[in-house]
Amino acid sequence: MQSDDPSDSELSDSYWSNWPRCPACAHRRRTECPVCGVSGSDIPLADAWLPDNPDEDEPVRSSRQPSAQRQAAAGSPPLLICPCCDEPFRPRFFRYCEWCGHDFGAGWEPAVDPEPLGQRAVWTAAGLILLGLAALAWFRLLLGP
């Protein structure tokens, strides 16, 4: 199945070469920046690779080196940098594929809080309904029985 996502060979070394893909449709999994909320599947690598545990004596390395890419394939994902707010973050992938709905079993599910129906919206809807009924009554009077 052909994917709309750029292939790993089309991306430069500033992108993560082992980006996880959906097993059902082969699209790259989406992640979201926790700072500004921009989501995507083609977010570039950050310049620094931070250790998982800051207490360890592991040095900070470049995320763009091939050794860092191999380590990311084996363990935790590398840091990405948001193209909108320039904040580095570790990717947290969505639980469901946005293209085919495949359930990965684990992943981030955005909280969708329904916005409460405000008083202004209720009065607007009631006014529009009354206006429509008045227009129907007016045309009934004009056209007669």
Predicted pLDDT of residue 132: 97
Region 126-142 average pLDDT = 95
**pLDDT, greater one: 89 or 68:** 89
Pairwise CA distance, residues 98 & 103, whole Å? 10
pLDDT at position 113, please?
A: 74
**Side-chain half-sphere exposure of 13, counting CA atoms within 13 A:** 10
pLDDT, position 17: 76
Take residue 65 and report the two structure tokens written for it: 């080196």
- The pLDDT mean for the chain works out to 77
CB 71 within 8 A of CB 79: no
How many C-beta atoms surround the C-beta of residue 42 within 10 A? Answer: 14
Mean pLDDT for the stretch of residues 49-78 = 55
Which pTM does this prediction carry? 0.54
pLDDT of residue 10: 47
Tell me the pLDDT tens digit for each residue of 74-102. 566 788 889 899 888 888 899 998 889 89
The rounded percent of the chain whose pLDDT value lies above 90 is 23
pLDDT of residue 3: 44
Residue pLDDT, tens place only, 5-49 = 544 444 455 777 788 899 999 999 999 898 898 888 888 888 755
The pLDDT of residue 53 is 54
